[in-house]
Amino acid sequence: MKFEEKRNTITILLNCMKKNLLGDSEKEIVYDIVMSLKGKTQKQKARFCMYYSLGPNAKEKNSMSKIATFYECSESSVRSSINTINLALYHISEDKILLLKKIVGDKIGI
């Protein structure tokens, strides 16, 4: 799979997550992929999941300021964590990209 195709898949996925367009089963797939990322801290993953409302206890999307208050840190620390996970998603294995591509395809009608 070409990098451009991976990039487009992840970009569309992130946009769908920002707009809260994913169903529970789709969020669960993304959550599992995020939690399986190697070399990223649990705190980075948790902040990302809170921001995009992923995970078993997620009920609503949180703002960066709410997450910063929860973790007693700055909004820029939260933004950095989210961006770190965003970038890591561009480098996941092809089989995981294919799972995400199916989710994206279902959302945009491919």
Q: Could you tell me if 9 and 104 are in contact, meaning their C-beta atoms sit under 8 angstroms apart? A: yes
Within 10 A of 8 (CB to CB), how many other CB atoms are there?
13
Domain borders along the chain are 3-108
- What pLDDT digit, counting tens, does each position of 28-47 carry? 999 999 999 999 999 999 99
* Banded pLDDT at 4 (limits 50, 70, 90): confident
What SS3 state is found at 62? coil
pTM above 0.85, yes or no: yes
pLDDT tens digits along 19-29: 989 988 999 99
